[in-house]
Chains A and B, each alone.
Chain A
């Protein structure tokens, strides 16, 4: 039982970590809560369903299209909505409300296009799973953890070795100084949305393979990503990973004591405790946005 919960926690944590790191990327550069992040991710899952299950494309091609589409959606959201609001010097709270509007709009769009009933992709037949330290784990779940790990390494390299990544860190540290040395903040905002939403798209694909899809899954997913990012420390990708794993484990061990329906409530409780006692997170990056 213990090792099963441990493995379930790690798998859930790996998916949350993808959401959290994309969210953290957007949040630390743009300094507002992009509420629609989780819904963009779920939309990626639906796009895979559309490309792969309905149109019958090759799986890898369908996955590539889905990730490219979420990246494009992120880019367009920033260009059409957020960028115009920023030009008017709207406060982060207004941007947050706008992002709630976007979230509702995408949710409604998914309901229009795909209906409210749950969707299953059914790429991999439900297999019996491997035994690992006395716990069952399916090959898909191994793939989830492996994909996340590869993406984290790629993200780390992006942030630390490339010009765009370094510029992103510069903008998140101090936007004005970054602009003085010739970095265009608007361009960096765009890149953060492109990369962040692409990662969200990958997360959406993994979720669509592991669970059934529902249009309204995005809100809870986004808040879990936010919680993971806060617990780890905003603006720190390793922090987002550790925080999300912590959250996944807390959720799964929590249902040892409580009925599984309270899973979401446990996540929020953990978020709450951290907001109260350790608002800078485990990896104190000193980057609290908005006080």
Chain B
């Protein structure tokens, strides 16, 4: 029983980690305050769930879950290429609302508020991932791959270009860097991993509905990037673990279940504000968000 709960927490940590690392690429490294990350997660989850329900194999579903958000991210980055700071944040937030209302209202495809039940558990090369232990290995592997890829990007010359854009876009431009293209690529890559996380989420719960993709669900991920410190990958891992575990004691306080959700949100919010007020660069952060 205890170990089952532990495995569940580790799976959630892995999924959050993929989301947070990829958000770190656009927010921390490129300086794009991307509030539309949850929409990419949603697109990935729905794409994967629909394909899996149609009997497609796991690798195809998770690949599609990564690729489809990239298309949206590219279009979104073109549309927002001239926007900065607050305006970019609000435009991407608007995008996430549009995707959410599509999930809610496009009932022919998404089944609306009732959601998509009975998503089959994944099978790879004949190995069944329906047990949580096996699924945990899958989730951790993907989280590690995400870490390695994001880390590779951030230490590459391209990663340095992204950081230059974050610190001073005009200067980066003057040095001959194609800044709008780099920002696009950064957003597109980060959307790929968000989609993969969405696919894992859909496979793990075997049921998705729009409520998992409302804007509020992005809050813990944003809190992770701030608490861990912008542009710090080790910080992100550390913060993900803290943020997932932080509200867990609420379960054992005997609160009525209707209060656990708001309790968790309140805890995240207070934690976020305390960090911003007293440790503005997070635990491992090096940079401030412009």
Contact = CB atoms under 8 A, between A and B. Distances in A.
A156 B216 CA distance: 35
Contacts, number: 139
Give the interface size bracket for B toward A. Answer: 35 or more
Contact of A265 (B102, B265, B273, B289): B102
B82 A264 contact: no
A216 interface: yes
A265 B97 contact: yes
B87 A275 contact: yes
B105 A261 contact: yes
Interface in A80-127: 81, 84-85, 88, 90-94, 96-98, 100-105, 107-109, 111-112, 115-116
Interface stretch (A142-150, A172-180, A205-213, A219-227): A219-227
A104 B268 CA distance: 8
B133 interface: no
A101 B97 CA distance: 18
Interface residues of A, number: 48
Contacts of A59: none
Given A265-B98, A290-B85, A90 B288 contact: yes
Given A93-B33, A261-B104, A216 B216 contact: yes
Interface in A2-44: 32-33
Contacts of B89: 33, 93, 96
Given A107-B265, A291-B84, A268 B94 contact: yes
A105 B82 contact: no
A93 B289 contact: yes
Interface string B244-265: 0000000000000011011101
Interface in A238-291: 259, 261-262, 264-265, 268-269, 271-272, 275-276, 279, 289-291
Contacts of B242: none
A89 to B, nearest CB: 9
A33 B84 CA distance: 13
B98 A268 contact: yes
Contacts of A261: 101, 104-105
Contacts of A104: 216, 219, 265-266, 268-269
- Chain A to chain B: the 7 pairs with minimum beta-carbon distance, closest first: A268-B94, A108-B266, A111-B262, A261-B105, A290-B85, A105-B269, A291-B84
Interface of A: 32-33, 81, 84-85, 88, 90-94, 96-98, 100-105, 107-109, 111-112, 115-116, 216, 219-220, 223, 226-227, 259, 261-262, 264-265, 268-269, 271-272, 275-276, 279, 289-291
26 contacts: A88-B280, A92-B85, A93-B33, A93-B86, A93-B89, A94-B280, A97-B272, A97-B289, A101-B268, A101-B273, A104-B268, A105-B265, A105-B270, A108-B262, A109-B266, A111-B259, A216-B214, A216-B216, A220-B97, A223-B94, A227-B94, A265-B101, A268-B97, A289-B85, A289-B86, A291-B85
